[in-house]
């Protein structure tokens, strides 16, 4: 009997151990399965996020191409602006800014803006927009509405320095700079010594070096063009956030060569910038003159003979050599360089592409301020030729291609970067 009891106890213990072993084994299996399921879910989620990121990039790229299309339409429609029979808004691309464009096509955009944009875009492009994953949001601005700092390395560097001095010497600007320990002339000198390709002015070099030493800079002036607006922070004075944020919205670095004259478009320049450029130091701003400018800019727009308009309408412009030089060298009437930010959004994943576009211009385009002179010269040459050939009955400057449709503008990418 005792032997049977002992054997029974041993069997019960073995059953207990077997049960514990089975439970432990099942727990281990469940842990492994749970880990596999978790890793699979993480991998699937990562794959989905990567796919969304790629789709967001693709959507942002689609936004850039759509921006090119709208810029082309805006440029081609300029000749109709001001015509009451064809009400086309100025800078039509501004209608896109901040508006989501995607699977709903242009319907939502038209509802928000009130403009019938779809009439100018082919049905195939509208259908293509409807299959875009997610949506894109554009922010398009003209770089020609800003003063190009890289003109300091051009042949008219001296005029650029005078223009910048006027910007920093406006009454409010001068007081603002003084509170931060800088003068307008200091900022101009520091900008010039950093950007100008070469300088033999020892006084300028020694003066600006003191400012570099004062901020503990371990570098010397670059003597070359700015390659990004952020690089402006390396220049003494602009290393201060308040000064950088105050003036950087009015500056650009495009084109980097700085050689493009008449790059500041009077039809899109902000009133505060043009006012500062054409107001001599220590002279009060005449509000009535600039009210005329704003009305003309909004209704008619500048087309040619820019200096003549200022001579007739702006007090103190005529006879002021600095103002006349600034107008001659910097003022134009076209937007040719644009900054485009395209933000693609797919399932909450965002990718933003920033691109600088420059319109390709034909070599035959006349200069804005000299168009009247060109017409006079052409008429003179044609009249002389007509005298030599009395049998010629064609009027001067007649072309057989006057009715030829205008080619759509093409754009060159100067810069692109993902944010």
Q: Are 234 and 127 in contact (CB under 8 A)?
A: no
Mean pLDDT over the full length of the chain = 81
Q: How far apart are CA 151 and CA 255, in angstroms?
A: 9
What is the C-alpha to C-alpha distance for residues 103 and 419, in angstroms, rounded to an integer?
24
Distance CA 241, CA 255 (A): 25
pLDDT band (50, 70, 90) for residue 271? very high
- Whats the size of the chain, residue-wise? 419
Structure confidence by residue, pLDDT tens digits, 18-43 = 777 777 778 888 888 887 777 777 77
* pTM of the full structure: 0.77
Classify residue 396 by its DSSP letter. T
Confidence at residue 148, expressed as pLDDT on a 0 to 100 scale: 96
Q: Which of 62-71, 137-146, 161-170, 360-369 has the lowest mean pLDDT?
A: 360-369
pLDDT at 387 over 50: no
Structure tokens at 411: 């754009």
Question: What is the rounded average pLDDT of the residues 258-280?
Answer: 90
Distance CA 302, CA 313 (A): 13
Last residue of a domain, one of 279, 299, 332: 332
What domain range includes position 125?
Answer: 9-135
Q: Is the same domain home to 182 and 252?
A: yes
Whether residue 2 has pLDDT greater than 90 = no
- Are 125 and 155 within one domain? no
Domain assignment of residue 366, yes or no: no
- In this structure, are 64 and 165 located in the same domain? no
pLDDT(259) > 90: no
Cα–Cα distance measured from residue 364 to residue 73, given in angstroms and rounded to the nearest whole number: 21
What's the pLDDT score for residue 10? 57
Beta carbons of 352 and 342 less than 8 angstroms apart? yes
**305 in any annotated domain:** yes
In this structure, the answer to whether residues 71 and 123 fall within a common structural domain is: yes
Q: Is 130 found in the same domain as 153?
A: no
Lookup: tokens for 328: 């001659």
In sequence order, the β-bridge partners of residue 355 are 340, 416
Residues 102 and 233 in one domain: no
Q: What is the DSSP string of 111-133?
A: HHH----GGGS-HHHHHHHTTSS
How many domains are contained in the chain? 2
Q: Is the pLDDT of residue 395 over 50?
A: no
Indicate if the pLDDT at residue 269 is higher than 90.
yes
The answer to whether residues 109 and 199 belong to one domain is no
Check whether 270 has a pLDDT greater than 60. yes
Q: Which of 135, 158, 181 corresponds to the end of one domain?
A: 135
Surface-to-core class of residue 54, CB atoms within 10 Å of its CB (0-12 exposed, 13-18 middle, 19+ buried): middle
Burial letters 287-316, b for 16+ CB under 10 A, else e: eebbeebeeebeeebbebbbeebbeeebee
Residues 128 and 221 in one domain: no
């Amino acid at each position: 009997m005792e032997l049977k009891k002992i054997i029974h106890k041993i069997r019960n213990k073995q059953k207990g151990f077997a049960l514990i072993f089975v439970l432990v084994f099942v727990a281990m299996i469940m842990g492994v399965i749970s880990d596999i399921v978790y890793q699979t879910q993480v991998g699937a989620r990562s794959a989905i996020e990567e796919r969304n990121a790629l789709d967001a990039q693709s959507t942002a790229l689609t936004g850039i191409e759509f921006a090119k299309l709208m810029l082309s339409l805006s440029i081609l429609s300029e000749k109709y602006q001001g015509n009451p029979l064809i009400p086309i808004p100025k800078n039509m691309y501004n209608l896109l800014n901040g508006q989501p464009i995607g699977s709903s096509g242009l319907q939502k955009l038209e509802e928000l803006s009130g403009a019938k944009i779809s009439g100018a875009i082919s049905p195939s492009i509208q259908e293509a927009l409807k299959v875009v994953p997610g949506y894109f949001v554009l922010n398009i601005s003209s770089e020609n509405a800003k003063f190009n700092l890289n003109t300091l390395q051009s042949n008219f560097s001296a005029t650029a320095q005078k223009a910048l001095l006027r910007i920093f010497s406006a009454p409010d600007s001068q007081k603002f700079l003084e509170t931060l320990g800088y003068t307008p002339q200091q900022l101009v000198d520091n900008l010039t010594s950093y950007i100008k390709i070469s300088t033999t002015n020892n006084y300028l070099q020694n003066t600006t070096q003191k400012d570099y030493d004062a901020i503990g800079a371990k570098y010397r002036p670059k003597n070359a063009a700015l390659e990004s607006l952020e690089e402006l922070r390396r220049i003494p004075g602009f290393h201060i956030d308040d000064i950088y944020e105050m003036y950087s919205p009015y500056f650009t670095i495009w084109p980097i060569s700085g050689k493009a004259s008449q790059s500041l478009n009077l039809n899109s320049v902000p009133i505060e910038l043009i006012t500062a450029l054409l107001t001599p130091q220590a002279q009060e701003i005449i509000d009535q003159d600039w009210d005329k400018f704003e009305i003309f800019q909004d209704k008619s727009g500048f087309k040619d003979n820019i200096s003549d308009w200022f001579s007739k309408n702006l007090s103190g412009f005529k006879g002021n050599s600095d103002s006349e030089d600034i107008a001659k060298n910097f003022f134009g009437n076209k937007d040719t360089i644009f900054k485009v930010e395209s933000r693609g959004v797919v399932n909450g994943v965002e990718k933003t592409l920033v691109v600088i576009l420059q319109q390709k211009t034909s070599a035959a385009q006349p200069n804005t301020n000299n168009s009247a002179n060109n017409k006079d010269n052409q008429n003179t040459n044609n009249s002389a030729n007509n005298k030599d050939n009395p049998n010629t009955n064609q009027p001067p400057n007649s072309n057989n291609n006057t009715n030829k449709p205008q080619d759509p503008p093409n754009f060159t990418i100067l810069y692109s970067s993902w944010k």
